[in-house]
Amino acid sequence: MNSLDLALLFFLLLVVLNYRAQRSVLYPPFIFCVTWLLDLALYRSGLIEIEPVHANTLAIVAAGAASFSVGGLLAILTPRKLLRAHLFPPKQEWHFGFLRNALMIILLCGLPVIFYQILQLSKSGGGGFNILLQARVALIESIESGDLSPLRLLSYFTTMATFTCLLLATGKKDLHFWVVTVVALIGCILSTGRTSILILISGLSAIRLLQAKQESLLGAMRLLRWPVALFVALFIGLIFTNKDTGAITGGIAGVASFYILGYIVGPLAAFDLVVQHPADFIGTSSHTFEFPVKLAAVLHLTNYVKPPIFESFVYVPFPVNVYTIFRFFFVELGTVGTMVLLLFIGLLHSLLYLKARQGGRFSTYLFAYSVFPVLVVIFDDHYFNIESYIYVFIFGLLCFQIGSMPFRLLPAIKVRR
């Protein structure tokens, strides 16, 4: 039995143990280990030609999953008295009427602006029938040249639309919610990427499972069959709208399978190169601690060199520029530091899950947004982006604070009999 088969058995054991710990598919250590089990199983299948992964790389991945799982167990042992603390009273009456209308109108007005910007980017990228492909090419070129203004407008709109959609999803599913959901989905598609779509669909799916109290494996499969099908359809469809597929043979099935398998197993092979040659991947600035270092630079306490937005490509043998969640942790902290950090992340993420499981709207909203980074641990590290978590927290805090106060645009008219 080789090292890959041993790793598969180890992850299968971790998946079973983590599922038994909470009987929930939303338990972060369970998601962490399931994604890696899927990754290794597809790698083992040999469906795509790829470089071999060494035993020490698999050992680091397995140890990281075990550390993340231990963090989840520590969260389970947390006294329930601490988890019962509420930022907002659990039975508080909310008054979201004016706020819901205002947010919906802002997003409806912003959608044509975003479409116009994508159209202009498409023209600057050469024009043509495939608007999203040309817009994506132009967007990448502007980012590489240092002009982030097109990215900022798209990012602001998709971020606000996603926050608003997740916020409304914690309440009643009325017309406001469905309008905002459609606008958010269209905005995510126009962003030419897949990250925002996964954040939106995974967050809505988590809220649905928590509200329906259907977190078991069978219950989740029954409730999420359509959201999963929607994401797969959008993922495959966007491959043909914003990717250059001319060099790939095999028709539609060949192109789709190459990109899907490449996205899943490619980063692991790329991380293996990092483990074997770490000196070649040392960056000029910290990725793991980017937020505190950037904050210190703003306070003139240190110098800060912004890391490149896009990583350099390696060939495995197809080009890959993402290296799983472990890449920066391993290079910057070493093996032991990686295990300690993953234990800490697993602890905090599991605490947030346990808090959301109690049914509070604010904690449910926060947890829904946090599902994305654990879903893509086989792809890249998104836990480091502390700024986005601060933004989602502030946005939710302001909205729930405003919603806790009865507010009228016009004074109420009292009629006496």
The answer to whether residues 379 and 32 touch, using CB atoms and an 8 Å cutoff, is no
pLDDT value for 415: 46
Burial of 356 (0-12, 13-18, 19+ CB in 10 A): buried
The answer to whether residues 377 and 35 touch, using CB atoms and an 8 Å cutoff, is yes
The answer to whether residues 324 and 311 touch, using CB atoms and an 8 Å cutoff, is no
Which H/E stretch holds residue 252? Answer: helix 251-276
pLDDT value for 412: 45
Burial of 127 (0-12, 13-18, 19+ CB in 10 A): exposed
**How far apart, in Å, do the first and last CA atoms of the chain sit?**
87
d(CA 349, CA 367): 8
pLDDT value for 205: 95
d(CA 170, CA 362): 8
What are the residues whose beta carbons fall under 8 Å from the beta carbon of 286, sequence distance 6 or more?
293, 332
Which H/E stretch holds residue 234? Answer: helix 225-242
pLDDT value for 411: 46
Residue 35 pairs in a beta bridge with none
Quote the pTM value: 0.90
Cα 223 to chain centroid, rounded: 20
Instruction: Tokens for 277, please give them.
Output: 């040659």
Tokens 């199983």 identify what position? 41
**pLDDT tens sequence for the chain (417 residues):** 689 999 999 999 999 999 999 999 999 999 999 999 999 999 999 888 899 999 999 999 999 999 999 999 999 998 877 777 666 665 566 667 788 888 999 999 999 999 988 888 888 766 666 788 788 877 877 777 767 777 778 888 999 999 999 999 998 888 889 999 999 999 998 888 788 999 999 999 999 999 999 999 998 999 998 888 888 888 887 777 766 665 666 666 677 777 888 889 999 999 999 999 998 888 777 888 888 888 888 887 788 777 777 788 899 988 899 999 999 999 999 999 999 999 999 999 999 999 999 888 899 999 999 999 999 999 999 998 898 999 999 999 988 888 766 655 444 444 454
pLDDT value for 34: 96
d(CA 27, CA 40): 20
Q: What amino acid is encoded at 123 in this protein?
A: K
Instruction: Tokens for 320, please give them.
Output: 């890959």
Burial of 186 (0-12, 13-18, 19+ CB in 10 A): middle
> Residue 294: CA atoms inside 13 Å, Cβ hemisphere, count?
12
Torsion of CA 213, 216, 217, 221, to 10 degrees: -20
Cα 344 to chain centroid, rounded: 19
Burial of 388 (0-12, 13-18, 19+ CB in 10 A): middle
